Each structure stands twice: as structure tokens, then as C-alpha cells.
Structure 1
């Protein structure tokens, strides 16, 4: 294996990608924390958390964070795969099997994560969608972008219309995703169960949202973002933001404005299955695009780059940090750890996120001062390229 392919220098890294990944890891943690410490989303959060502070913090997360950061990571995932494909072409290495091995390892890690650590895993879905994305990776940037946009908007618009029509037939309160019985079952098992019982519950919870019935919705909500992110990579939007500055500013502004409008929809028209679907399915990705492009444009100024640079430490070790958050949180909340499941508020959980994330920034900075890759990233890269890349930095 060509060693030059598997060892990417610091100069080759795109700093905006690392900052965005670090930012996405923070946003994902804020949303995941709700599920780490409670049977969310199987209950009405405004009834479950009655305190004014909890409601205010949850509303902030719902509007500005929910559905925006896993979508940002989806865009970055497609972007990253295209960068790997382009670099392999430049170095005369066939990307096909490299991409397959990379995604297969991701699938294995995702299965371990989902079945033995936390049921809210997204890695399995990314791996499956990634295999499909490899069939499209040779398309031009423009065609990837157009295909992704159409594949996202058309089916999700149809689903949204069907949901709104359904409200004319059945009362809004009869169409809900809340499952109080499932919430109560999760409370009992995660609070009191053995590791084996918790594992069985974890697998059941994973299957509840990852099955043949939900697969089409996963496909139309995640796969098109891979295409859009891959298209942006081929168009060099993040490598050369100055060349596209005016266009990117317009896209960022429009995405943020319309993203906020969609995210506020349930608060304007009333909460129901239709408005909440539109809120997340359209508002989430628009805010993700707005956040990502704002970062890419803002860090062209050195002062802002220095201010945001701590996020890049976490972003360089994004896989290790993502898994660490799940391991640490489940040890805190599940019965085989401290057993605090269902015992804390949204505010306490959010403060825990901030504290743990600050520790991750410090630990990541210390780690990358001594190593080229995070521990999981190094194993992932070794399996991808069938070689042992240099790990420890020489002082």
C-alpha cells in the first residue's frame, strides 16, 4: 500500500472541516444527552420536564440544535469520502476497496456501539448509506449537488404534504410519536436491569428506529446529504471559500433564515406530527448548511480562527470523542454504572455536556500534540489501508 496515501499531513488537512466536526460533535452530544439520561423521545418533553429552566433549555435545543448536527455530520461525511477518493486518484491508487474497507470497519464499530453501548448509534446508518454513495462518487460536483437536492426535497415534501392532509382526517392529538409504555419500560430496565437485560433493551430500542419500515425515511433524510456534501467537495467550497465568497454568503444567509422559520413552525402553527416533521426534515439541514458555511467563511479571519481552533482538536478525533461520549454517559446513567437514568433534569444534563466537552477539548489537544491520530481513528485507518500508519509524533 502506498504509504503516502494513508498518511495525510497537517498541511493537507482542511481546518474548517476539523472545526465543523468538533462543532457537530458538541451539537450531537447536546441532543444525545436527552436520550442518554431519559426515555426521550417517547414522551412529551414539556410534560416530562416541568421546570421553567428545563423547558427553556429544551426549546433552545429543539430550535437550534435538534436535527441540525447529525445532518451537518452527514454533509461532512460525504465531503470527506470525496476528498479521500480524489486524493487516491492523484496518487494513483484505486479507491474502490479502500472505500469498502473503510465503510465495513465503520459498520462493525457501529454494531458494537449500538448493541453494547448505546442504541442511538448513527454509524451503522452512515456505513450503509456510504456503500450506496460509492456508486455515485464519480459524478461531477454539479450533478451530485442537483441529485442530492432533488432526492431530498421531492420525497420529503410529499411525506410532509401527506402528514398535513392526515390532520384533516384525524385530530392532531391522535397522530403522535409518543409511546408512554415504551418510556416506562426503558425507565425500569435502564434504572434497575442487569447488563444482559440492558443489552436486550438496547437492541430493542435500536430496532424500534432502525428497521425495514424506517429504512426509506433514513434513506431520504441522510443519503441525499452525502451527495450534497460530496458535491460541495468536488466544487471546492471549503478549500477555496474566497473564490465562492459572495455565493456562499448568500447560501449561508438564506439557509439560516429559512432554517429558523422551519424550526419555529411548531411554535407558530402548533405542535403536531406534521409540523414537527417539517421542522426537523427541512429546518435541520438548512441550519446545518448555514452553520457550516458560516464557519468556513468566518475562519478566513485569523482572530475567529484562533477563537474556534479548540473545536478542531475534538474534530480531529471525532470518532474517538463520539464513542467516548456514549461510553461515559451510559456509565453515568445506566444501572451497571452510577444508575442516574431518569434522575436528572435537562439543565443538569446540558451542564454535564458542557463540562465533559471542555474535558474533551483539553484531552484532545494533549493527545494530538503527541499522536497523529486518535486511538479509534488509527485502528480505522490501519484497517482501511492495510498498513500501520505512523502514530506517535517525534519530539
Structure 2
């Protein structure tokens, strides 16, 4: 079913704003280029008009904190079915790219468009707060079609690829509304972006998961307190669904090795209960140093979520383990399948006598 947009101006009676035709979809590409958060605030733009090995150009190329590459293709003059086929064709090419090629694509992009961060590593660190790892960069990919509308047949194809084939392809629809001299851009996703992330196509089969979870704890002076987590037995995440949704993977009995980005590993814990929001975890008797958002004040998507745990071993931040060769990732919870993760767990077991 076609996605419909509407904006009403509030007054004595609601006034529907008229839509206007996007005369040139390059204008839409330009807006996304200037601010990729129009699509997703958790993406980093790494390429524009990327020249492929078969002589065609990818409109936009982005990456998320997990290293997943996102192919963004605007409909422009193409038919709806053609643009989906084009995106899949581009994704097949992206799948073959080694990490050094991704680095070069970003370098060319930064030079051509005068981006402040000139190297891929610098840009990745600035955006996500951690350094990219060889194993994660281009470990999976997704496809996003940008259009004013798609026909019903194309929407069925995209839905089928997601639901039946677990292929990460999505569509985002934009409309422009006029209000006097002002114009407003409206966006609607065809499929929840979180579902597309879950269906991101794995580029290569990794080694078997060792059963140990990785956890990233975003300790900071004005947000989460690591000492709160040690004292009251929890790990947490929030500020957006991208950060909190991975907590829902955890079940009682799971073991999590916790890392504070840019600081190091600070503990290992056993999960006691499933995830719960701040509203159901924090109580008045707790003496907290950190600040945590409730559903009531921030809404379900941006609230903080907690997983009650028992600390098997934990240390203050000043004693965090930060060595070359240890695994790092921005995901709040992850199931790494790289040799580096096996090394990390074994090294921490050795240091902490776990």
C-alpha cells in the first residue's frame, strides 16, 4: 500500500499544506549529502557518485557503527523496478570490496567534496567514538531506495526480499510541502529501519560464535556512570533505538564482557533478568551519580534501558584493560565472530582469572 504524507498547520482550524513536485531529485541528493541524518543519524557518509568497476555510479554510500555498508540509490529517471535492480547490482559489487578499497573510496570522497576529516579512520572515530576494525568494515551491507513513491509491485518485491529472503533492502519516501515562502521535507520509511539492519547481508561467513557477548558501556560525566553500574548491577544503553535494541538479545545466564569505548574493558557479568526501561529499574532508594532517561520523559525510542546483572569480575575505570589487539565495537551488545574476539576473551580470562 502506498505511503501517504500529510502536514497540517495548526490554527483555528487545521490547514493542510500543499505538496509540491521535486523538480530535480539532485536537490534531494544534495540535502542528504549535506546531512545524512535526514536518512539516519547513525550513519556516516563515505561516498557520493561512487564510480564502480562496471562503469556506473552509486548515488551515495554510507557506513554504520557496526561496519555495515549502506548503498543509497535515488529513483531519479529510473522505473521503480529498475532502481531496485540497480541497488542490488551495486550491492553485489560492494560485497567484493576489501577494507582498503573502502578506505580509498572515502579518501576520494573527502578530497572531492572537501570533507574536514581526510582519512576514513579519522572520520569513523569522530562519528562513532571508536576506531574501525578490519574484520567489521564491510562485514555486511544494506540497500536503501529513495523515492517520492513506488508502484505496488515494487513494494511487494522489497517486502518479499526482507521477509522471505532476509535481504536488507528498504525504501524511504520523501514529500515536499509548501507554506508561503517556506518548504518542508517529510520522510517515511517503508519498513522499520531496525528490521533492515537485522537483515543486513553478511558479506562473508565468519567463524563460529564462541557464546560470549560483547558489551559497550557509554560511560560519561553527564550520562551513564560506571560506578552506578558496579554498585547496582546493571548494563544499560539508550538515546535511540539503534543503541538500545541490541540489549534485547540478552537472556538470563548469558555472559557479557563489558568495554568502555576509548577506556578499555572493565568487567564481565552474568545476565540475571531481561531488559527493562528506566521506569521499571530505577527506584528512589538508589543513590545515583549518572543521569538516566525514563519513557515518561523521553518516549520509548529514546529512553534508557537496563539489563540486571551479577558482576563476575569488575574494576574501576582507572584499572580498565586497554591493549593493542583487543576487540572493540560501538554496538551496545554484539555477538562477534572474529578471531580477535576469541583472543580478547581468552586474554581477559587470563588477566582476571575468570
Question: If the length of structure 2 is used for normalisation, what is the TM-score?
Answer: 0.28
Question: Which is higher, the Rg of structure 1 or of structure 2?
Answer: 2
Compare the two structures and name the one with the higher helix fraction.
1
Compare the two structures and name the one with the higher strand fraction.
2
